[in-house]
Amino acid sequence: MPNIIHITKSDDLSISNNQLVMIDEDNNDEKNKISLNDISAIVIENCHCKISAILQLRLVENNIPIIICNEKHQPEIHLLGLFNHFQVTLRINEQIEWEKEKKEKLWSRIVENKIENQRALLEYLEKSDVSIERLKTYKENLKKDDVSAEHQEAIASRIYFQELYSNSFKRFDEDGVNSALNYGYMILRAIISSKIVAKGFHPSLGLHHKSQFNAYNFSDDIIEVFRPMVDYLVYMYKDILNEVKLSKEIRQKILLVAQQKVLFNNKKYDFFQAVDYYLDSIRNYFVKDEEVIIPTLSVMDYEYWVFWSAYVWFSYADRCWDIWI
């Protein structure tokens, strides 16, 4: 499985023989190398890190997202190459012409699957039967129109988050849990955006999200069914998330969200592969009128995933850069 490279010190990053070269500024003789073929994403959390132009170019050519965090360690920038697909003009024109009615039906399907993933997580964690049943009811009563989907999603999410974290929990409050959720969502959003561009689409042209101030409307549509992956990982550490500013340990654990297994067409894939297949299915839905296949989360893998998170953290805690396998 490809690695997520986590840069936490002021390293020099360059490329040689198609390998990422990392030089520790505290010891210029110490070099670490890894093939670009083994990298799925790079997260840079030190604003003093130096990255060569040729490395940025090669990463973009290989559709490897570069995610740069601000001083508060929240993802702020990710670099995308907008012309990596040989049919980019055709694909974007297709995207612009996608039928409104089909987009609304697909959005209802996405919300239905998101609520089911939320319900499955609450059931797995043995939460309140009443809340689990309410989410099931909202999913079953979901009408096939955009307005109803948005309404059902809002109600279901409020019940879900309060059951998962606490009755007083409010999304977007300034607290440790919300900071952790934001961090995880932004990592997934950056990866999804790179996949969208690799398929020749534009991340701003959404199915449901349409804000003129949002450059990632389509990314925000795609991420919805995957959000419970982040929610679960944050839930596992919610008791130690006491501050808005996240510790390095927590940030590193959250990065492992991208290694979660996902079910697509009844087969298990890693998150990166699942997004690829999901985007292909969406295009076939609009262009070839095929049934769209929406990913579901592999809840049974959660315990293994958390164990592996702890193992990798203790294995690499003393490194100046961290490889997530």
The number of beta carbons lying within 10 Å of the beta carbon of residue 211 is 11
Q: What is the mean pLDDT of residues 232-250?
A: 87
CA–CA dist 14, 286 (Å, integer):
41
CA–CA dist 313, 125 (Å, integer):
24
Q: What is the mean pLDDT of residues 275-287?
A: 97
pLDDT of amino acid 169? 93
Question: Is the pLDDT reported for residue 89 higher than 80?
Answer: yes
Helix (H) and strand (E) counts for the chain?
11, 12
Q: What is the mean pLDDT of residues 85-104?
A: 92
Torsion of CA 37, 227, 215, 198, to 10 degrees: 30
Contacts of 42 (CB under 8 A, 6+ apart): 4, 5, 7, 13, 20, 59, 64, 65, 66, 67
pLDDT band at 306 (very low <50, low <70, confident <90, very high): low
24: DSSP letter: -
Q: Which residue has the tokens 């909202």?
A: 138
Q: Which of 189-193, 271-275, 307-311 has the lowest mean pLDDT?
A: 307-311
121: DSSP letter: H
Torsion of CA 265, 154, 194, 12, to 10 degrees: -120
* Mean pLDDT of the chain, nearest integer: 86
pLDDT of amino acid 313? 40
CB-based burial label for 100 (10 Å; 0-12, 13-18, 19+): exposed
Domains of the chain: residue spans and CATH? 3-79 (3.100.10.20), 88-309 (1.20.120.920)
pLDDT band at 230 (very low <50, low <70, confident <90, very high): very high
Nearest to 217 by CA among 200, 230, 202: 202
Q: Are the C-beta atoms of residues 305 and 259 closer than 8 Å to each other?
A: yes
Q: Which of 20-34, 123-137, 198-212, 240-254 has the lowest mean pLDDT?
A: 20-34
Q: What is the value of pTM for the model shown?
A: 0.89
Q: What is the mean pLDDT of residues 172-193?
A: 94
pLDDT band at 148 (very low <50, low <70, confident <90, very high): low
pLDDT of amino acid 3? 80
